[in-house]
Amino acid sequence: MASERIFIQAIRRYCADHGIAVDVHASGWLVAMRRGKTRRFAFGYDIGLNSAIAHRLANDKSATAEALALEGVPCIPHHLFLNPKLGKNVVGPTWRGAMLELLHGHPQGVVVKPNEGTSGRSVFKVTTEAELDHAVGEVFSMSAGLVISPYVAIEDEVRVVLLDDVPLVVYGKQRGRDWRHNLDAGAKPVLLESGEVRTACVKLAIEAARAIGIAFASIDVVRVDADWCVLEINSGVMMESLAKLHPELVQATYDAALDRVFAGR
């Protein structure tokens, strides 16, 4: 159906070509696929290739940053703060003071965003205490936790889609008027040709994927002060915007992942 997400359309095409029965439930967020006695599921944008722990690490920005730092993979720090509504025994009394310390330690500002989530929603650049309180209130109104990162001037952002350390898609995000590089915020995907930038980004993405043991993921790497580092890892591989420009590439990428899904584990 034309109104369905590209992700669902790609699964339907693959299943139709391979004799696999497919049922879509929960307004398109749960997909059941069956071939003979083999049943597989996709949920959200997760196609089912990653282990539970890799999936959870990738969906938690703070945990991702901690895991990458342990392996010496350069990344943007993400400091975790839990929602005080969880209770004093969980959160403790010093959370706002710690936030202010981060703010005052970065005169250029900080970025406040949900610890989990995608597409740049509820992401705030903050330079004052008033802005901090507003951003924290907004994020905590819909999230159990938030992360604070130092604001950095991102020169370039590149997304690498990996399957078992093989780069299937590599594209830059051409920023619009917004300070963010999110595709939902108006950035445009531009495929990267072979060259020094693509090679550096793929190498870093592979190191990041290996650090958390993830098989199929999209990894965002950014260039700050001429150096590349990891911004985040996404266990759910979303390519809705890219599919408008390169539908065959997107279909081929999901096909390769689904081949792995049905090849056995």
Average pLDDT score over the chain: 92
DSSP string of the chain, one letter each residue: -TTS-HHHHHHHHHHHHTT-EEEEEGGGTEEEEEETTEEEEEETTB-S-S-HHHHHHHH-HHHHHHHHHHTT--B---EEEE-GGG-HHHH-S-HHHHHHHHHHT-TT-EEEEESS--TTTT-EEE-SHHHHHHHHHHHHTT-SEEEEEE----SEEEEEEEETTEEEEEEEEE--SSSS--GGGT-EEEEPPSSHHHHHHHHHHHHHHHHHT-SEEEEEEEEETTEEEEEEEESS---HHHHHH-HHHHHHHHHHHHHHHHT--
Top pLDDT among 229 and 122 is at 229
Q: What share of the chain in percent tops pLDDT 70? A: 94
Tell me, what's the pLDDT at 180?
58
Average pLDDT of span 167-172: 97
Tell me, what's the pLDDT at 92?
81
pLDDT digits (tens, 9 = 90+) for 193-204: 999 999 999 999
- Reported confidence tier of residue 122, pLDDT bands at 50, 70, 90: confident
Tell me, what's the pLDDT at 264?
59
Per-residue burial over 155-166, b if 16 or more Cβ lie within 10 Å, else e, is: ebbbbbbbbeee
Enumerate domains of the chain plus CATH numbers.
Answer: 6-48 (no CATH), 52-76+153-256 (3.30.470.20), 79-150 (3.30.1490.20)
- Reported confidence tier of residue 206, pLDDT bands at 50, 70, 90: very high
| pLDDT at position 121 over 80 | no
pLDDT digits (tens, 9 = 90+) for 89-110: 888 888 999 999 999 999 999 9
Q: Which of 11-20, 30-39, 120-129 has the lowest mean pLDDT?
A: 120-129
Strand partners, 39: 34
Tell me, what's the pLDDT at 1?
53
